[in-house]
Structure 1
């Protein structure tokens, strides 16, 4: 595995979290279809990517040192 990504960019991780959440909801009498779970996983990965990008931009803007081109 040469390609690495953050845990929040993994559809597998989000799918597992949503599956656990779905199981907990089922205990309360609320059921999510497999399609809805897949859609939620895709949305979560997209939102996590957006949040990561915004965090990186925010960190760069607040950094104490600048960056230099060539």
Structure 2
């Protein structure tokens, strides 16, 4: 494994975050047994991808220097 990716592209990290959040929500008394972990992880990853795409576009539009 020579390729390095940012932590927020890791499905393992997101699945772990979802596990911790749903566990904490269960302890807090929120009903979480109906949620499907994999579906929730995929949905969050799509959201992160959309947000990072918007940040990239806005960053390029507001940049002062040329690329190259």
**5+ unaligned residues in a row in structure 2: which ranges?**
none
**5+ unaligned residues in a row in structure 1: which ranges?**
none
> 8 Å contact 1:22–1:32 — kept in the other structure?
yes
Using CA pairs below 8 Å that are at least 6 residues apart, which structure has the higher relative contact order?
Answer: 1
User: Which residue is equivalent to 1:54?
Assistant: 54
Any idea what the Cα deviations from partners look like across 1:16-51, whole Å, max 9, x if unmatched?
000001111111333535971111111111111111
Shift of 1:66: 2.3
Please give the root-mean-square deviation of Cα atoms over the aligned residues, in Å. Answer: 1.9
User: Which residue is equivalent to 2:21?
Assistant: 21
Count of residues paired in the alignment: 68
Which deviates more, 23-32 or 50-59? 23-32
SS state of the match for residue 52, structure 1? helix
TM-score calculated relative to the size of structure 1: 0.80
Alpha-carbon distance change, 4 to 64 in structure 1, aligned in 2, over 3 angstroms: same
